[in-house]
Amino acid sequence: MVASFLGVPIVLGFFTGPEIWPVLLISAFWVAFVFWLYAATKYEITGNALIIHAGLNNRGVTVRSIGSVKDSRSAMASAAFSLDRLEIQYGAGKVILVLPKDKAGFLTDLDLHELHKND
Q: What is the pLDDT of residues 56-104, one digit of tens each?
A: 888 889 888 888 888 888 776 665 566 778 888 998 889 888 888 888 8
CATH level 3 topology of 41-116: PH-domain like (2.30.29)
- Percent pLDDT > 70 in the chain is 72
- Evaluate if pTM is beyond 0.75: no
**What type of residue sits at position 102?**
D
Q: Is the pLDDT of residue 7 over 60?
A: no
- What is the structure's pLDDT at 87? 87
Of 86, 118, 83, which is closest to residue 100 (Cα–Cα)?
86
Cα separation of 91 and 110, whole Å? 16
Asked if 98 and 86 touch (Cβ cutoff 8 Å), the reply is yes
Alpha-carbon distances of 3 from 28, 74, 82, rounded to whole Å: 11, 27, 20
Assign 23 a pLDDT band (cuts: 50, 70, 90). Answer: confident
**What type of residue sits at position 36?**
W
Length of the chain: 119
Q: CB under 8 Å to 87, separation ≥6 — which residues?
A: 68, 69, 70, 71, 72, 74, 95, 96, 97
- What is the structure's pLDDT at 106? 86
